[in-house]
């Protein structure tokens, strides 16, 4: 099993001390793994990471980005169960992971 702990905290927090035996890797947030969010029901964040058109959105920019002189760990997506849900759609719905599949293809041409 692989468990990645993505945090903006240092290693001396009570939470980290309690779970560190179960963690495979610790990544400093926004340093090694960048991420975006799908629209989450009833959320007014308006990040606009994933509305169509796919080619013009931040999620694809993050998928294509590599840090100078290094390789990013991967791409983190928040609320992946909402992949494909348009902003303002607050109904629970099944996903076909269409955005996730396109982002994986972009990162692994």
Residue carrying the six token digits 């998928």: 63
pLDDT digits (tens, 9 = 90+) for 30-82: 566 688 889 888 887 778 899 889 999 999 999 998 888 877 777 888 888 89
Tokens standing for residue 34? 């960048």
Mean pLDDT of the chain, nearest integer: 85
Distance of CA 62 to the CA centre of its chain: 9
Grade residue 102 by pLDDT with cuts at 50, 70 and 90: very high
> What is the helix, strand, coil percentage profile of the chain, to 5?
30, 15, 55
Task: Kindly tell me the sign of the dihedral angle through the C-alpha atoms of 15, 22, 24, 77.
Answer: negative
Q: Is the pLDDT of residue 27 over 80?
A: no
| pLDDT top residue among 94 and 43 | 94
| pLDDT top residue among 30 and 91 | 91
């Amino acid at each position: 099993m692989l468990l990645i702990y993505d945090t903006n905290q240092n290693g001396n927090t009570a939470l980290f001390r309690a779970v560190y035996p179960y963690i495979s890797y610790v990544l400093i947030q926004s340093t090694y793994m960048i991420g975006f969010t799908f629209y989450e029901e009833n959320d007014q964040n308006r990040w606009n990471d994933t509305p169509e058109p796919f080619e013009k959105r931040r999620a694809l920019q993050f998928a294509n980005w590599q840090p100078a002189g290094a390789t990013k760990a991967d791409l983190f997506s928040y609320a992946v169960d909402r992949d494909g849900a348009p902003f303002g759609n607050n109904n629970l719905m099944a996903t076909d992971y269409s955005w996730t599949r396109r982002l994986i293809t972009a990162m692994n041409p």
